[in-house]
Amino acid sequence: MLVDDLIAQLSAAACTSDAEESTSYQELADELLALQSIYALDDPAALKVVSLYASSAESQNGQEKQSLQKWQPSCKVRLALDLPLDLPNVPSGSSSSAPPTSLRLSITLPPSYPSSSSAPQLQLLDRFIGDYEVDASLFGQVLRTFFHHSDGPSVGGREGAGVQWQSGEVVLFEGCESVKERVEKWYKQQKKREEERRKKDGRGAVGAVVSSGGGSETSPTVISQDEEGKPRPAVSRPKTGSSVADAELQRLISSKKWTSTAPLLERKSTFIGHAIRLDRAEEVPLLLQSLLDLYPRMEKATHPLMRAWACTESGEATGGGNHEKGRKVVHRDCDDDGESAAGGRLAHLLEMLHLDNALVVVTRYYGGIHLGADRFKLINRVARDALEAAGLLSQSGAKGSAG
């Protein structure tokens, strides 16, 4: 669906709804129109609707949740934005690579936004910003761009606190600009550290690709063809050093262990499920990297990291005693990794199983024979098997409730 179509549907709904709902629908329509004019005036594809889907309360009878073809008042909206960056160009003749001109940002709007009880969620979709791998700190800062107005006393004045949000307010532009400023500052810091290293040791630029010791700077690129006939490069394996996250997060990651299923073979395609407990949103990129490190062959898979995750954190865990007692913040997201709709189906599986602290990944090696819709049943099967083998279903009391 085009953003113009969504704006038209929201405006039409505003004309036939009661006063409160009408105001909410029209405010969202106006906000999307403003985002279009600011970020997508020259390139309409810079802002697009990725999916519309019903909230978990409306997914009944164990049915797999399908993306909606038309906006509904109770649906969630996921957008993708190519957010432009303003970074200085490298001097002529410099050996440094040109800075990135944009980043990819996911925007998830809860039902009834901006009158919703929860804030929108922003997430970086890029694994790299220019030459530099996105670290857990930046990932988490973007994920927590918005904070509730009641959290203000404890987060106000802290560097990188984000954008204050309260129900009834439109905040997407402020959130996007906050992310832009944050990423630009982070990139300049990475660039400065690189230059300092170069001056100190006299070597060439230290980029994102780490030498493998055999003289080659990158693993061989394997081009695979997926179910829909689209070529896809195998995943690269960025190296994550101890500087990526603080010591506490590193200890948390090292204490965890992935659980993987036995390979499931179906008409020459192989499916493998992986699951692990997730306690903090910042763990996601590090856990994914640890999975790639555990199974190096995954980089040759057609779809190595189809995934979904959910993480529940208490308000107190993010900043101190001024948060509302007992208030929970649930972070959710997913990624198709090139297999259309796979991430959304895995996210729905987590919702149906009532799992709020889990990361599930499915790896597929395409064997050349089209499986059609059957591939989604296989993806769900190995995902559920991995969650059960990891003991996550018994922890949620969901064993046997979906499948």
**Is the pLDDT confidence value at 310 over 50?**
yes
pLDDT single digits (tens) 125-149: 888 888 888 887 888 888 888 875 4
Return the CA Rg of the chain: 22
What is the Cβ-side half-sphere exposure of residue 372, based on CA atoms within 13 angstroms?
0
Cβ distance 49 to 6 under 8 Å?
A: yes
Over residues 321-344, the mean pLDDT reads 70
- Residue 297 is given by DSSP the state G
- Is 147 or 344 the better-scoring residue by pLDDT? 344
- Is 164 or 234 the better-scoring residue by pLDDT? 164
Torsion region of 47: left, alpha or beta (phi above 0 gives left; psi -120 to 50 gives alpha): beta
Q: Of the segments 184-188, 250-254, 373-377, which one has the largest average pLDDT value?
A: 184-188
Over residues 251-261, the mean pLDDT reads 83
Over residues 32-57, the mean pLDDT reads 84
d(CA 219, CA 222): 9
pLDDT band for position 242 (cuts 50, 70, 90): very low
pLDDT single digits (tens) 345-386: 999 999 889 888 999 999 999 888 888 888 899 999 999 999
User: Can you point out the beta strands (E) in 5-145?
Assistant: 47-54, 75-84, 102-109, 121-124, 128-129, 132-133
Residue 31 pLDDT: 94
Over residues 188-215, the mean pLDDT reads 59
d(CA 360, CA 350): 9
Domain locations in the chain as residue ranges: 3-201, 223-396
Cβ-proximal residues to 386 (8 Å cutoff; 6+ apart), any chain: 259, 260, 261, 273, 274, 275, 360, 361
Residue 288 pLDDT: 87
Residue 47 pLDDT: 94
Helices 19-39 and 3-15, axial angle in degrees (round to 10): 160
**Is the pLDDT confidence value at 21 over 80?**
yes
**Is the pLDDT confidence value at 69 over 60?**
yes
Does the domain made of 223-396 have the CATH classification 3.40.50.12780? no
**Is the pLDDT confidence value at 18 over 50?**
yes
pLDDT band for position 395 (cuts 50, 70, 90): low
Mean per-residue pLDDT over the chain, rounded: 76
pTM of the model: 0.54
- Is 325 or 261 the better-scoring residue by pLDDT? 261
Over residues 10-30, the mean pLDDT reads 88
Residue 97 pLDDT: 72
d(CA 271, CA 266): 8
Q: Which single residue is written with the structure tokens 């709709």?
A: 341
**Is the pLDDT confidence value at 217 over 60?**
no
**Is the pLDDT confidence value at 154 over 70?**
no
Cβ distance 360 to 387 under 8 Å?
A: yes
Over residues 196-209, the mean pLDDT reads 55
**Is the pLDDT confidence value at 328 over 50?**
yes
Alpha carbon 21 to chain centroid distance?
29
Helices 374-389 and 342-352, axial angle in degrees (round to 10): 50
Residue 268 pLDDT: 86
Q: What is the DSSP string of 255-292?
A: T---EEPPPEEETTEEEEEEEEE---TTHHHHHHHHHH
Helix (H/G/I), strand (E/B), else coil: 123: strand
CATH topology of domain 3-201: Ubiquitin Conjugating Enzyme (3.10.110)
Residue 221 pLDDT: 33
Q: Which of 143-157, 159-173, 200-214, 225-239 has the lowest mean pLDDT?
A: 200-214
**Is the pLDDT confidence value at 273 over 60?**
yes
- Is 361 or 396 the better-scoring residue by pLDDT? 361
CA distances from 6 to 30, 51, 66 (A): 11, 11, 18
**Is the pLDDT confidence value at 403 over 60?**
no
